[in-house]
Chains A and B, each alone.
Chain A
Amino acid sequence: MSQSPEPVRSEPVGLAPAILETPNRARILARLRSRPTARGAAIALVILIAAALFAPFLAPHDPYDLAALSIFDNRLAPGTQSMDGPVYWLGTDSQGRDMLSAILYGLRISLVVGLSATAAAATIGTLMGLLAAYVGGAVETAIMRLVDFILGFPTILVALILLSATGRGVDKVILAIVIVQWAQYARIMRGTVLVEARKEYVEAARNFAIPGWRIMLVHLLPNALAPILVVATVQVASAIMLESTLSFLGVGVPITEPSLGLLIASGFEYLLSGEYWISFFPGLALVVLVFSINLVGDRLRESIDPRRR
């Protein structure tokens, strides 16, 4: 809600400017490497992204090739050998689709949605926050009121209502995620820029009569980007999670482009009869993906937190 309580928590006053000091890249990487869980998560992440990228070469079957599907192979348990030779390591779904292949392709859709939605939301939110902080006045009030309004509602509800109005589609899911996520970046960016704009180099730039847009984009933006990048990491995970949830609820991606969430949903009805693999394995892939991103994001946040140096 617009009047959601601004937490009067006892944040140390010096925290905000300290975060803004450009973090030493070498130190951040060293900190990341020193944590075995973070390293494991980073490796898992690279493997998953590579698997998604090279899905057409890795997948034993083409899940989109309807002609290759055999209805006699439906709902086979993991490890079963098919009629014509290859083994279904992760079983098959209700249409006889190889689950391993379906997961590899589903991973692609989940990642595409998560990454593009985050990129768009971060760009829009960053620019809006920058504008609000630098221009101030009515522009700031208008932008920040909108931000408060959006952040006042649970993301799932806003996205659900939006998608029920627009209908299913990969592009529409991305749009809905952007609408619910940009506000977060705008709020962070505004806070950072408000502090940054008081520094001497901005003053100096103003004295040189450098145009406002240039001060914003060339001087302020690079110096205020660190917190945005950290938040963006974690937001990729929540975008992926949001997409899968919306797809599960039936308002997300269409069945022609099954993401991990939709694959999980398609196995729901067979779960009660003990055929767990249709839902279990795509879910496992989703959890490993989201968990790895969150772990890396958490360690990144720790690395730039000056209290932990």
Chain B
Amino acid sequence: MTLFILRRVIQSVFVLLAVSLVVFFAVYAIGDPVELLVSPDTSAAEREVMIRRLGLDLPIWRQYLVFLGNLAQGDLGTSFVHGVPAVELILQRLPATLELVVLSLVIAVSIGLPLGMIAGLAPETRTARTIMTGSIFGYSLPAFWQGMMLIFVFAVFLNWAPAAGRGDTVSLLGVEVSFLTADGWSHLILPAINLALPNLALVLRLAASGTAEARLQDYVKYARAKGVRRGRIVRRHILRNILVPVVTVIGVEFGSLIAYSTITETVFAWPGMGKLLIDSVYQLDRPVVVAYVMIATFIFVTVNLLVDLAYAMLDPRVELEKGAS
């Protein structure tokens, strides 16, 4: 176990290094930030000072080494636009994004899992067919358009929920959260549904195929022969077994959702990390873009490790030493 974790941590460091290399050089190609930062009538000397202050006069590999050195100290550079450390800027926005991601996962699982099990328990019925076709529809909806239609129907037409922004927040252990206020909830619900829909479809399909398979296994037949009640079979025998793939997906999707929340946050003007990323891309704020990718990658890597561990706990058959590919 310890060996497994150790090996995975070392692997993760290599992944982070590779990502830093790729992203640093890709982002380096984005425009000339100096053009944006200085007014057109700045003298050439002042420009020079600016370039030197930002470290842009060094050759790119030197800039990368400087970046790595700072990274080791937890410093991902200072935002060109905001003038504050990029990490700080992103971490400030993190709670808003996490709130959205967690709520959307709760929605996806609490609706997707039961619907999927209903479809999986009787696969050839009309209900099952309808649910499965509906799930294809669910992931065929472009997230941004789906969000815009949510805004149109529920915010503009019905006027049930606000169209944009985060609403009132309260401080919980020093972190601003909105799920404790009524106004916060009303702002949270539409973006969370928007983000949840593709995953709802995914969880549903996984649950359906898992249930359809588990239903025919010997242990279910045996339980039925033993006279175990149907509800108990579904809960204790089938649900337990389909939870493994579902947990994996939730884990892996947790990372992706942080990236996909970029779209939701853009549509709903939600002040999270994703909105910050898009704004930074427009403003050529390189340090923030690089820092975002590094932090997002760090989250993916950590979540993947946790998923593997959760795996072992849910399914005793999984051997961790072999699990690492």
Contacts and interface: CB of A to CB of B under 8 A. Distances in A.
| Chains A and B form a bound pair | yes
| Interface bin, chain B | 35 or more
A286 B149 CA distance: 14
Contacts of B289: 161, 164
A3 B156 contact: no
A154 B299 CA distance: 12
Interface residues of A, number: 50
B143 A245 contact: yes
B12 A1 contact: yes
Interface in B45-79: none
B15 A149 contact: yes
B259 A156 contact: yes
Interface in B228-259: 244-245, 248, 252, 255-256, 259
B263 interface: yes
Interface stretch (A63-71, A74-82, A247-255): A247-255
B148 interface: yes
A272 B151 contact: yes
A3 B324 contact: yes
Given A6-B325, A279-B145, A286-B145, A294 B136 contact: yes
Contacts of A298: 136
Interface in A230-251: 237, 241, 244-245, 248-251
Contact of B149 (A5, A157, A250, A283): A283
B37 interface: no
B99 interface: no
A66 B248 CA distance: 52
Interface in A293-309: 294-295, 298
A165 B27 CA distance: 6
Contacts of B143: 245
B252 A2 contact: no
Nearest to A283: B145
Contacts of B259: 153-154, 156-157
B248 A287 contact: no
> Secondary structure of the B side of the interface?
helix
B148 A279 contact: yes
Interface stretch (B84-92, B171-179, B300-308): B300-308
A241 B146 CA distance: 12
A275 to B, nearest CB: 10
In this complex, which of A2, A3, A274 has the most chain B Cβ atoms within 10 angstroms of its Cβ? A3
A276 interface: yes
Contacts of A3: 8, 11-12, 15, 304-305, 324-325
A124 B42 CA distance: 48
Contacts of B304: 1, 3-5
A298 B132 CA distance: 10
A249 B30 contact: no
In this complex, which of B23, B141, B148 has the most chain A Cβ atoms within 10 angstroms of its Cβ? B148
Given A5-B304, A271-B152, A276-B152, A237 B145 contact: no
A261 interface: yes
A152 interface: yes
A156 B263 contact: yes
A162 to B, nearest CB: 6
Interface string B249-291: 0001001100110110011000000000110011000000100
Given A3-B11, A280-B149, A283-B142, A249 B266 contact: yes
A22 B252 CA distance: 33
Contact of A264 (B140, B144, B244): B144
Interface of A: 1-10, 37, 148-149, 152-154, 156-157, 160-162, 164-166, 237, 241, 244-245, 248-251, 261, 264-265, 268, 271-272, 274, 276, 279-280, 283, 286-287, 290-291, 294-295, 298
11 contacts: A3-B305, A157-B262, A162-B26, A164-B289, A244-B142, A249-B262, A249-B266, A279-B148, A279-B152, A290-B142, A294-B140
Given A4-B252, A160-B277, 13 more contacts: A2-B14, A3-B11, A3-B324, A5-B304, A6-B325, A154-B256, A161-B289, A166-B29, A245-B142, A245-B143, A249-B144, A268-B148, A279-B152
What 9 pairs across the A-B complex have the smallest Cβ distances? A283-B145, A154-B259, A291-B140, A157-B259, A154-B256, A164-B281, A165-B29, A290-B140, A165-B26
